Amino acid sequence: MIAFANWFLIGFALDGAISLFDDLLQTGPAPALLSALRGAIALGVLFAALGSFVLLAISPRLPKRILLPLIAFPVWCLLGAYPLAIGLEPSERSVLALSGIQLGLALATLCWIRLRSATDHWLLHPSDLPNKRPRFGYTLRFALATALIAPPLLAGIAGLSLFAQIERATAGFVTFDLAGINSTAREYRRDDQRIDLVGMAHIGDDEAYLDLFESFAGKSTLLLEEGVTDEDGLIGDGLFYEMLASRIGLDVQPSFEAMLAETPPSSAGDPLPEIRNADVDARVFGKDTIAVIDAASRLYQSDRLAPALEEFRATLDEIGPEATEAAFRDLIDNRNAHLLREIRAGLDDYQRIVVPWGALHLPGIEAAILDWGFEQTASSQRRIAAYQTILTALLSREEAR
């Protein structure tokens, strides 16, 4: 057991050194052989970390304070390395930082062993460890502690990493706090013209959508609505979020035309905005984009999430990475280009343009209008979904089963 733990220590240090060297070479032509070696060693270290954790549960001789930080490091990296990977941009900087941290952690561990060793060993040695035999009671307590601590800890780290990645991908147009999910609205001005960008998630609280729509009231205001049209019936039933929304106790974002009919004039007497669809028609999409949309539609409407998710992944694997990138350009970049033309045209006739679109679209739109000479003048947030609502719905589904 001690020999296995020492091989894990050596592999961890070697992985850190090779990874750091490989990352530093990324400024020039990196040798493919070195990258392949790095991948193989990293995989071995991951399995050795899992094996070392099992040995910790068996043997009370092995030092937890030395091994647990090394075991936790690759798991932390697999879960997104929150918050380091999120705070360091671009991603190359975070990868380099992780390699440096790994090597530094390995060297610090070896030095600590050396300082605590009575026989001046750099690795674990039986003479420096307590003479304790494996006991069933010890293993049982270790297993119980792991079962109580590990699942919520890992879920928390994975959730925080996911939330941070979404915030980064949407440039903060969708954010998360301790109570729920928020939509960010930002105001941009150029002379007497104004553009409002509002991050939407398509699923949320119905009252939040109505409250948001009322904030769009004002003179000379044009609301550019999102929504791919399908005059040739290429995408079948289209994307319906009702099943997904019902699972988590939320509502599907209603059309702004429907909200216009339900919303009374504001107390200040401001007129409600004119609404215009500013999206493309499905005929501009490639066949692979249509395939991705159809697969996503089946995923959203399926009552069995795991098989539907596997089918969606199979669709992406079938069309390949290049076609998947092309589909992403169809769904984000090309639609953004069309939307920007609609915004330019709207500015000729209206003083204020409101753009409540899916949050993944808005970083590109924001960059474009800043290039046009607009400046951000205000920002606000509204709650669009509460965690309590989602948790209550999920627990109710479990009880119904």
CB 223 within 8 A of CB 216: yes
pLDDT band (50, 70, 90) for residue 147:
very high
pTM over the 0.85 mark: no
Q: Positive or negative CA dihedral for 90, 95, 96, 102?
A: positive
SS3 274: strand
- The full set of domain ranges for the chain reads 2-169, 174-400
39: which 2 tokens?
A: 């991948």
pLDDT of 322-369, one tens digit each?
888 888 889 999 999 999 999 999 999 999 999 999 999 999 999 999
pLDDT band (50, 70, 90) for residue 141:
very high
Helix and strand numbers (H, E) in the chain are 14, 9
pLDDT value at 400 more than 70: no
CB within 8 A of 392, min separation 6: which ones? 249
In angstroms, rounded to a whole number, what is the distance separating the alpha carbons of residues 56 and 149? 16
Phi, psi of 353 (to 5 degrees): -115, 125
SS3 117: coil
Matching residue, tokens 């190359």: 92
pLDDT of 90-108, one tens digit each?
566 778 889 999 999 999 9
pLDDT value at 228 more than 80: yes
pLDDT of 26-80, one tens digit each?
655 555 667 778 888 999 999 999 999 999 999 999 999 999 999 999 988 888 7
